[in-house]
Structure 1
Amino acid sequence: MSPETRLVRQITVKLIPFLILLYLIAYIDRSAVGFAKLSMGADIGLGDAAYGMGAGLFFIGYFLFEIPSNLMLDRFGARRWFARILFTWGLMTMGMAFIDSAGGFYVMRFLLGAAEAGFFPGVLYYITQWYPVRHRGKVLGLFILSQPIAMLITGPLSGLLLGLDGLTGLHGWQWLFLAIGAPAVLLAWPTLRILPDRPDQVDWLSGEQKTWLLGELEKDRQDYGQTHHENPLHTLKDKRVLLLALFFLPVTLSIYGLGLWLPTIVHQFGGSTLATGFIAAVPYVFGILGLLVVPRSSDRLNDRYGHLAVLHALGACAMFFSAWLGSPVLQLAALSLVAFSLYSITAVFWTLPGRFFSGASAAAGIALINSFGNLGGYLGPFAIGALKEHTGNLASGLYFLSAVLCFGLLLTGIVYQRLERRQAQQPAHLGGV
């Protein structure tokens, strides 16, 4: 094993498992509402369109506060800012247990998004401070494993907690929100104590390792022509950032549109709430498989856009067949291919922005891309809810998501042409991306 490989593994062992745990909790907290809806709707008078709107309001709060949050992270450091985010989002999740109307649902979902804003893009920025560009694909793949693992856990866990209905006078969905919000609050203090801000602050790297790592990060900034604006807000006007933000929109719209309605889709297969939870977890096993295989392939072949094109095409076809097929088994198989594609796209996509920016400019750029893309988290659930209410079935919403992924395939070609033209102006030894 080379010294470089040993160092990268050492950093990964020290940082990534803890970050996976934190994002695992975040993703459970934001997505369990899909299972809570199965019984909460009748208790507080929440229809399909109202649920879709409220579920999506999380991302409006996220959108409005994400860029300020990432700039605060650059100012105060990762461990302090992540601890603050954990504490407040945990409180907001637990507060969801006490809503009693559609209006309360809207307010709390918005506040949850505002509280969690900046965590995911903050981690993406944090990773750029620890890993050279050539290692980020597989590391991002490992970190994003949190998403499908969370959904794998959320289904069975939600089914069990919803089964506590009536215990101490609380509904099952109230127990669900209380139980999943508490870990975030409890982990705020360990985050403050455990997580280092920068490589030069840790004692588990030697002086030689720190010098080499900081030198490689500086070499990336020079080789890739990374931009570092004196005023990081100038990054928000960069055409590369705006194009990547548009490119990210279809995948987030599809992930959240499907994810927040998947329990309802599976529930229509028949069976108990507990069975729904376990069956709804199946597609996320394939999401995990995709994240273990595709980002490594992308790194090994030094190819991003080819992988993204194939994954968008596969996701669009699988999404179409998940609506068109009549057999629950075949529908579940199609949805599993969708999950494989969408999570793989996410990991490969996030290798792109860190090539162009560094420092606070990277923090602002990543935040803008993620916040704009996450508008899909509002549009997806809302559009599916509105289509279901209008047509009387969920198939129309799945056809809509298939068209969205086709648009993502078109954008893959556009982004490739625009960014490769800039890349061609860089030194020839860099090769493709």
Structure 2
Amino acid sequence: MTMSSVETAVRKNRWRLIPFMLALYVLAFLDRSNIGFAKEAFQLDTGLSDDVYALGAGIFFVLYAVLGVPANLILHRWGARRWIGTITVLWGLLSAGMAFADTEAKFLLVRLFLGAVEAGFFPGMIYLTALWFPREYRAGVMGLFYMGAPLALTLGSPLSGALLEMQGILGQPGWFWMFVVEGLLAVVAGLFTFVWLDDTPAKARFLSADEKQALQDCLNEEERQTATSRSADAIRNPQVWHLALIYLAIQAAVYGLIFFLPTQVAALLGTEVGFWASVVASIPWVAALLGTWFIPRLSDRIDERRHIAALTLLAAGLAVGASGLVSPLLAIIALCIAAAGFIAVQPVFWTLPSRLLSGTALAAGIGFINMFGAIGGFVAPIIRVRADALFNDKAAGLLTLAGIAVLGSLFIWGLNKSGASPRSAGQARRYEAQQESQYG
């Protein structure tokens, strides 16, 4: 049970789990957000109004919010391999089913059930990170995982745009092929999950006995230092509610950007959403990749969570507001800053619950916080559409998102400072050794 055994186990966990988790997140994010690319053509072909589109974009988060906590508790009891594999196959089938949602009722129902099935995925991934990695590695690990969102929107933008160009093949519109192809990719990934994923480090087929024991001892010691491990205590913890309100603000801001970015960029270019507009729309997500690579690592290296998260969210909020007030070139630059900040702040944020909770309390707490984030995702498109309509100005919705983000940054600054306690000397030595081994 040496220190080197922990480092070796963490390194193996990185190579085994992070690319897999990242690929699943790319597919999950693409399948929940690809309606943004289909928006104009889909509405034209199906007759959906702007209000129904906004409702459908947000209704995804209704059951997603309600089912987050029970889904994570099922994962805790049933095991990650069966649970994640099952829900991935199901959400892929439902996403492909969007190709047949040619009426308002079908559109709303498929989006509602898609949210129900995906409810267990994201909080499950956050919980898996706490099960497999010691605390001092988690922001960096979460940063790599969170690259799934900008990757989905960087690679997914031209992919979705290209699929939309398949208009008329076999007599079907382009959005039909976009939903089918991207949904079936998730089905394949879900089947692969049953083969690849292990439930816990104790069951890991790729770790030696010494590595399993050393890693488990490290994780057990961290668990003994947390405030609570009972699920009921998590819901009663005022700091958990504080974190939940912060995450609501973050998600309201980020989804208010995501669902409308393709059409916003197309308007800046004076064109319709297609392949080239989608390529330009991917530029902010390239910036988000860079931010998500750098900011969580900086947070780990200096062991600072609160100020980095608050400043990152503040910068993103100011930028998204500015994108509606400046020239097209400056607007694209502002959108790059906004996308980078909105994505990069989240892996830093998600290191905070595991400093307060462990065991079933951590599973419940993550699900509870994610529920509030889902509420933010639900209201985001509605708020943006209503603000634009109320002031008869396309900049109004963007400025509203900016205000939400600024408020969220103030909430972060108001967090209890004890939630970002410094790592021990032993933790620091392990982290520095791992960074040198991993990145030179």
CA distance in 2, matches of 1:18, 1:228: 28
CA–CA distance in 2 between the matches of 1:126 and 1:290?
A: 23
Deviation at 1:349, TM superposition (A): 0.1
TM-score (norm 2): 0.92
Q: Is the 8 A contact 1:62 1:116 kept in 2?
A: yes
**TM-superposed deviation, 1:71:** 0.9
Cα distance in 1 for partners of 2:82, 2:160 equals: 31
Please name the residue that 2:260 is paired with. 261
The equivalences for 1:75-114 within 5 A come to 75-114=77-116
Corresponding position of 2:337? 337
Residue 308 of structure 1 deviates from its aligned partner by: 1.2
Among all aligned residue pairs of Structure 1 and Structure 2, give the percentage whose two residues are the same amino acid.
36
Number of residue pairs matched by the alignment: 424
1:121-140 correspondence runs (5 A): 121-140=123-142
* CA-CA distance at 1:388 after TM superposition: 2.7
Using the alignment, how far apart are the partners of 1:124 and 1:226 within structure 2?
19
In 2: Cα distance, 1:12 partner to 1:52 partner: 38
Q: Distance in 2 between matches of 1:3 and 1:385?
A: 53
More displaced 10-residue stretch of structure 1: 143-152 or 61-70:
61-70
- Compute the displacement of 1:228 (Å): 1.0
1:183-262 equivalences in 2 (<5 Å): 183-223=185-225, 225-229=226-230, 232-262=231-261
Which residue of structure 2 aligns with residue 159 of structure 1?
Answer: 161
| 1:63-74 paired onto structure 2 within 5 Å | 63-74=65-76
Distance 1:281 1:53, change over 3 A: same
Contact kept in structure 2, 1:312 and 1:408, CA below 8 Å: yes
Task: Give 1:44's aligned residue.
Answer: 46
> Relative to structure 1, is the Cα distance of residues 226 and 44 closer, same or farther in structure 2, using a 3 angstrom cutoff?
same
Distance 1:422 1:234 in 2: 17
Q: Which amino acid aligns with 2:279?
A: F
Q: SS of 2:67's equivalent?
A: helix
Aligned-pair Cα RMSD in Å: 2.0
SS at match of 1:164: coil
Which residue of the partner structure matches residue 386 of structure 2? 386
Distance 1:235 1:320 in 2: 35
> If the length of structure 1 is used for normalisation, what is the TM-score?
0.94
1:34 alignment partner, SS class: helix
What SS is found at the alignment partner of 1:191?
Answer: helix
Q: Is the 8 A contact 1:304 1:349 kept in 2?
A: yes
Change (3 A) 1:292 1:423: closer
Q: Kindly indicate whether the alpha-carbon contact (under 8 Å) linking 1:94 and 1:182 is maintained by their aligned counterparts in 2.
A: yes
Q: 1:51·1:385 contact (CA, 8 Å) conserved in 2?
A: no
**What SS does structure 1 have at the residue aligned with 2:102?**
coil
Within 2, Cα distance between the matches of 1:48 and 1:77? 41
- Contact in 2 for aligned 1:58/1:109 (Cα 8 Å): yes
Amino acid in structure 2 at the alignment position of 1:353: P
Which position in structure 1 is the counterpart of 2:408? 408
Matches of 1:306 and 1:405, distance apart in 2: 15
Pick closer, same or farther for the CA change 1:428–1:282 going to 2, 3 Å: closer
Give me the whole-angstrom Cα distance separating, in 2, the residues matched to 1:266 and 1:158. 15
Deviation at 1:316, TM superposition (A): 2.0
Partner of 1:375: 375
Name the structure 1 match of 2:302.
Answer: 301
C-alpha distance in structure 2 between counterparts of 1:386 and 1:216, whole Å:
50
Confirm or deny: 8 A CA contact 1:25 1:183 kept in the other structure. Answer: yes
2:353 alignment partner AA? P
Q: Structure 1's 157 and 372: CA in aligned 2 closer, same or farther, altered over 3 A?
A: same
